[in-house]
Amino acid sequence: MILISIHPRFAEAILQGQKTVEFRRRWTKREASHLVIYATSPIKQIVAVAIIEEVIEDRPTNLWKLSQAQGGGVTRSELVNYFAGLKTGFGIRLGSVSSPRKPIDPFDRFEEFRAPQSFRFLTTDEAKRLRRMVR
Q: Which CATH number do you get for residue 124?
A: 2.30.130
> Which residues touch 17 (CB under 8 Å, ≥6 apart)?
71, 97
pLDDT score recorded for residue 135: 67
Residue 121 is assigned to a structural domain of this protein = yes
Residue 113, number of CB atoms within 10 A of its CB:
15
The answer to whether the Cα torsion of 128, 124, 117, 84 is positive or negative is negative
Task: List the domain range (segments joined by +) for residue 108.
Answer: 2-55+92-134
* Domain tally, the chain: 1
> Which residues touch 99 (CB under 8 Å, ≥6 apart)?
15, 47, 48, 49, 134
> Which residues touch 20 (CB under 8 Å, ≥6 apart)?
14, 70, 71, 72, 73, 93, 94
> Which residues touch 72 (CB under 8 Å, ≥6 apart)?
19, 20, 21, 23, 63, 64, 66, 79, 91
pLDDT score recorded for residue 111: 85
Which residues sit opposite 104 in a β-bridge? 46
List pLDDT tens digits, range 1-59.
Answer: 999 999 999 999 999 999 999 999 999 999 999 999 999 999 999 999 999 999 999 99
Residue 79 is assigned to a structural domain of this protein = no
pLDDT score recorded for residue 96: 96
70 — pLDDT class (breaks 50, 70, 90) = very high
Residue 48 is assigned to a structural domain of this protein = yes
Q: Among the listed ranges 51-55, 104-108, 129-133, which one has the minimum average pLDDT value? A: 129-133
